[in-house]
Chains A and B, each alone.
Chain A
Amino acid sequence: MSTSRSTPNARRLRWTPWLFAAPGLLLLTLFMAVPFGMAAVLSFTDQRLLTHAALPTEIVGWDNYLRLWEDDSFWAALGNNLRFVGVVVPLQTALALGLALLVNRKLRGSHLFRTVYFMPVATTMSVVAVIWSLMYSPDQGVINRLIGVLSFGSIGPQDWLRDPALVMPAVMLLSIWQGVGFQMLVFLAGLQAIPVDLYEAATLEGARPWQQFRWITLPLLRNTTIFVVVTTTIYAFQLFTQVQIIASSGAAAPVDSFRTLVMLMVHEGLRNGSIGYASALSVVFFGIVLAISMIQRLIIREEGGAA
């Protein structure tokens, strides 16, 4: 080995990985890591969006978090997110599993059905919210008429988007409609990973379809189900587009009846210019998402240890 020749080459190679990594690392640092650190720092200040020389930013300690604790709008927003999670996560997961089971059957046209169920996912959410806003029209709207017919007229027309008790259920329904196709595909992938001979053996043993579902399908879909539940939960906390469109419709219920954490963050940070307070909200929001992810990892690790 002639060191005189390999040295410049080695020096060049030492820098090569960093040249490959540089653009990505730079952008990730500037637009992810730095704002993330800023959120933590700003949440302890009274930073405004438009700074004033006469009003310098000051450190206010835990004030923003204390204000959060006493802010009815914060609790209302958290409650709206939690109600959304409580209804949408179990319903959407169950529906997605049902759709996947149905589409997975060897029927003519299964591919076509799968395409149809996935179409709402490919539809932009803001458009979805607009379509459903019209369907939720008071009096003679599509939804009101449908419910009237299904209940034989015993349930009268509702003002879905203006009634504080109904606006969240209305958001939940349109969200499930839009999102369930995605989870269906995830479950379908899980189903198709289950070896067919398991079912063949079970059939030979005389196991009925429901028994096969209970003792083969469900246990082997465990990780898929955990994934679906966790992603749907995180997605539910990120809820913004639907409620933002409904808020901009100009005919919506009192804002606290459907405002979510992210929407409150936008209102505080952008409309009120209270960056410090909105940053405290961001930190709390991140804490919630982190906790959900941690729980997922814990559950999956436990499984790994047992297996």
Chain B
Amino acid sequence: MKRPQIAPYLLHALLVLFFLFPLLFMGVSAFKGDEMQLLRDMGTLRAFLPVGELSLQNFRDVADRTRFDLAFWNSVGVVGLTVLLGLLVNSMLAYALARFRFPGRRWVLGAIVALIVIPFEAIAVPLLLLVNQLPWFSEGQWVQGWLDSYHVQVLPFVANAFSVYLFYQFFVALPKDLEEAAQMDGAGPWRIYWSIVLPLSKPVIATVAVLQFLARWGDLLWPVMVVRGDEHATLPLAMQTFFGQFPRQWGDVMAFALLATLPTLLVFLVFQRWFVRSVISSAIKG
């Protein structure tokens, strides 16, 4: 079976160029403080090489002219809160369905499976109308309308039918011995759920967290609909706003893009195994 392995490596080399060059192009361009040089380099291989005059000028511009740090922390807060609350709420609902026999259980389960098929895009418009009417308690009084806030970007996405379904499948397959033993010892259902079931559920928690993170971190549709101005804008919306400003400095835009991408790329590289597992378990959908 000793055959020359040059062909697959050549293929890999071409593919690596294809997948890496746009990212390399962004990274290199971000450091080209001289806009004219950046544009001149584009027509040659120099576009992908850190050559010429390199500086941090573009990053200084981003810090001066945009509220990148605000958008970044908005993203971290909004997405982090959505994922954390989602893990709790969805696993609790799934636990009720997997471990208790109660009237209406089959009906609820069927409804949740049916909800999986509804894409967010199909309900975005009526949801906009709805959140525009909902009350919120703020600064000591009730105000109408949720637009331009953090909670409007968090609460509608906490409960997720597919996450419930993933948790449900995991709980159903989980052996009951430990829970039964704990019950014998007098532990209540909350204690069993919190101290026994959740610690055993790390794989499915990781899966749901990664899938929700990927879906929420990049979302532009909902912020476009409910957020005006910078105060509550997350990274994708801030990216769009900065990209749409004129006159456009491509070096600055690329510096912004690089800053927005690095955190997720790092998270991915560190937790790669979890990402791979999440994708694979998402394949059981449908």
Report which A residues bind B (CB closer than 8 A).
13-14, 16-18, 20-21, 23-28, 31-36, 38-39, 42, 47, 49, 99, 102, 105, 107, 109, 113, 115-128, 130-135, 137, 140-142, 145, 177, 181-182, 185-186, 189-190, 224, 227, 230-231, 234, 238, 240-241, 244-245, 248-250, 262, 265-266, 269-270, 275, 278-279, 281-283, 285-286, 289-290, 293, 296-297, 300
Q: For B93, give its contact among A23, A31, A181 (CB under 8 Å).
A: A23
How far apart are B184's CB and chain A's nearest CB, in angstroms?
Answer: 15
Selected contact of B246 from candidates A49, A224, A250, CB within 8 Å: A250
A24-B125 contact in complex given A113-B16, A124-B217, A131-B257, C-beta closer than 8 Å? no
The answer to whether B89 and A27 touch across the interface, beta carbons within 8 angstroms, is yes
Q: Answer whether residue B178 sits at the interface, using C-beta atoms and an 8 A cutoff.
A: no
Q: Give chain B residues whose Cβ lies under 8 Å from the Cβ of A27.
A: 89, 155-156, 158-159
Closest chain-B Cβ to A34's Cβ sits at a distance in Å of 7
Q: Is B29 among interface residues, defined by CB-CB distance under 8 A? A: yes
> Measured between alpha carbons, how far is A16 from B42 in the docked complex, in Å?
64
Q: Which residues of B contact A133 (CB under 8 A)?
A: 243
In the bound complex, CA of A39 to CA of B130 (Å): 11
The reply to whether A189 and B280 contact each other, CB–CB distance below 8 Å, is yes
Check if B5 sits within 8 Å of A107, measured CB to CB.
yes
Other-chain contact of B125, A126, A134, A278 (Cβ < 8 Å)? A278
4 A-B pairs besides A17-B102, A177-B22 with CB distance below 8 A are A39-B126, A130-B243, A140-B43, A238-B121
Bound complex: CA A192 to CA B115 (Å): 31
**A-B CB contact pairs (8 Å), 9 listed:** A17-B102, A115-B269, A123-B265, A124-B236, A126-B220, A238-B119, A269-B125, A275-B128, A281-B125
B122 and A36: CB pair below 8 A? yes
Nearest-Cβ distance from residue A187 to partner chain B, whole angstroms: 9
Please tell me if the beta carbons of A20 and B193 are within 8 angstroms of each other in the complex: yes
Q: Residues of A contacting B236 with CB < 8 Å? A: 124-126, 241
**The one of B122, B219, B257 that contacts A285, using a Cβ cutoff of 8 Å:** B122
Indicate if the CB atoms of B268 and A122 lie closer than 8 Å: yes
Contacting pair B126 A38 (CB below 8 A): yes
Q: B129 near A: Cβ within 8 Å? A: yes
In the bound complex, CA of A121 to CA of B213 (Å):
12
Asked whether A18 and B275 contact (CB < 8 A) given A24-B90, A28-B112, A28-B161, the answer is: no
Q: Mark B182-193, 1 if CB is under 8 A from A, else 0.
A: 000000010001
Closest to B92 in A: A20
> Residues of B contacting A245 with CB < 8 Å?
220, 239-240, 243
